[in-house]
Amino acid sequence: MHSKYYIPARSGTAPYLVDVTPESAGWTESSLKVVELESPHGLTLDTGETEVMILPLSGQGTVGSGHETFELSWRASVFDGPADMVYIGTGNTYTLSGEGRFAICGSRAARQLPNRRVAAADVPVELRGTGNCSRQVHNFGTAGVFEADSLIACEVITPGGNWSSYPAHKHDENSAVESALEEIYYFEIDSGQENSRGFGYHRVYGTPERPIEVLEEVRSGDVVLVPHGYHGPSVAAPGYHMYYLNVMAGPGEERAWKIVDDPEHAWLRGTWEHQDVDPRLPLRSRGV
């Protein structure tokens, strides 16, 4: 039986494959839409009080707002290296046109910032962890890399057989060492050999004061919500690379990703200095 924090693939209403709003998630800030378009059809939306980051999961397109037009270059799949990203600030009407699947990451925002494009070649790629905790992070919209009012977003590639979002960590209260952030995990799993249907697992658990229990088998297009609590690992089954898109935002004044590890497992980070990064990484990188 699935938890209420699991949203199955293709649960949205066309053209949306996924449609997570603050209201549907039961929180106040973060949102995610995944839309599937067929050329030459487009989708026109208003940002209102929301800022958005738009990127192709597969395919290509354009984003037009007012007199500005931004290109989203071709991307074969989420395992094809970083993608172009277009940011549209609050109070704008925009049209997304193209062919393929596109993610629209959003959060409520207090400031209107200018619309911008980040080219795939300019997205910082980070290899995080070592050994079977190695993963590849595309920091297209993280704090300290890209300016936004509240929204934080990135992509993570976990090679088959590896664990990521590990050791488990949390960010559910504002303090000197932690940020309160609502988080969305959107998953895709590589098909492996003979187009077999891959899978992985994702875990969320709480504290005595704020309990939560989630352990979900995830497949391509599935979503898991993290309203609070420790989360991790995200486990990629052997033979199947795992991708997830993280969308985060919180009500705090500071836009930051500050986390605390589960103290029972924090010691694990100290073992990484004696191991090498998984030689499969960076995975299918396009010249980055």
What is the structure's pLDDT at 287?
A: 42
CA distance 195 to 64: 36
* Single-letter code of the amino acid located at 61: G
What's the pTM? Answer: 0.96
283 pLDDT band, cuts 50/70/90, is: confident
pLDDT at 191 > cutoff 60:
yes
Give the DSSP letter string of 140-165: EE-TTTS--SS-EEEEEEE-TT-EES
Percent of the chain with pLDDT over 70: 99
Segment 217-224 shows an average pLDDT of 98
Average pLDDT for the chain: 95
Query: Does residue 111 surpass a pLDDT of 60?
Result: yes
Q: CB–CB of 123/156 below 8 Å?
A: no
State residue 193's pLDDT score. 77
The helix (run of H) or strand (run of E) holding residue 145 is: none
| Integer Cα distance of 186 and 78 in angstroms | 12
Which whole number is the average pLDDT over 132-142? 97
Per-residue pLDDT band at 288 (split at 50, 70, 90): very low
**Taking 60 as the threshold, does the pLDDT of residue 176 lie above it?**
yes
